[in-house]
């Protein structure tokens, strides 16, 4: 009886962990970006507070084309153009935006 109730729960948590935005983040970005603290790259909180949706997506797809405009002297971030689907790109962008502080 216990198992009958347990299985749907396990499936549900599996589903959310596979399809939630932070999977992309943990897999591809976390080594260099943290949510609220500065790592190798700026925190998502900082990015969200000063950039538009388009600027953020632009930098994920083509950091070499946008870094000067964003005020960096050089860019060391890899492009994720071929690694992410459009859907994942939207998800990770919304994930970053979600760290914007209300003020």
Size of the site for ligand HEC (CB under 6 A): 23
Q: Which stretch binds ligand HEC (CB under 6 A): 1-9, 10-18, 39-47?
A: 39-47
76 touches ligand HEC by CB under 6 A? yes
- Of 19 and 40, the one with the shorter C-beta distance to ligand HEC is 40
Q: Find the helix or strand (DSSP H, E) in which 91 lies.
A: helix 86-97
- What are the residues whose beta carbons fall under 8 Å from the beta carbon of 55, sequence distance 6 or more? 66, 69, 70
Q: Which of 22, 35, 45, 72 binds ligand HEC (CB under 6 A)?
A: 72
Q: Which two tokens stand for residue 82?
A: 């071929």
Smallest separation, CB 15 to ligand HEC (Å): 22
Do 92 and 60 meet the contact criterion of CB atoms below 8 Å apart?
Answer: yes
Q: Please state, in angstroms and as integers, the Cα–Cα distance from residue 57 to each residue in 13, 14, 72, following that order.
A: 28, 27, 16
How far is the C-alpha of 43 from the C-alpha of 89, rounded, in Å? Answer: 18
48 touches ligand HEC by CB under 6 A? no
Contact positions vs ligand HEC (CB under 6 A): 28-29, 31-33, 40-42, 47, 51, 56, 59-60, 63, 67, 70, 72, 75-78, 80, 92
């Amino acid at each position: 009886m216990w198992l009958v109730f347990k299985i749907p729960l396990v499936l549900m948590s599996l589903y959310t962990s596979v399809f939630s935005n932070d999977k992309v983040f943990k897999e591809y970005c976390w080594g260099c970006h943290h949510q609220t603290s500065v790592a190798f790259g700026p925190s998502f909180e900082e990015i969200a507070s000063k950039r538009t949706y388009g600027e953020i997506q632009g930098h994920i797809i083509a950091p070499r084309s946008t870094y000067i405009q964003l005020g960096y002297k050089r860019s060391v971030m890899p492009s994720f153009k071929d690694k992410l689907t459009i859907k994942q790109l939207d998800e990770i962008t919304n994930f970053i935006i979600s760290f914007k502080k209300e003020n």
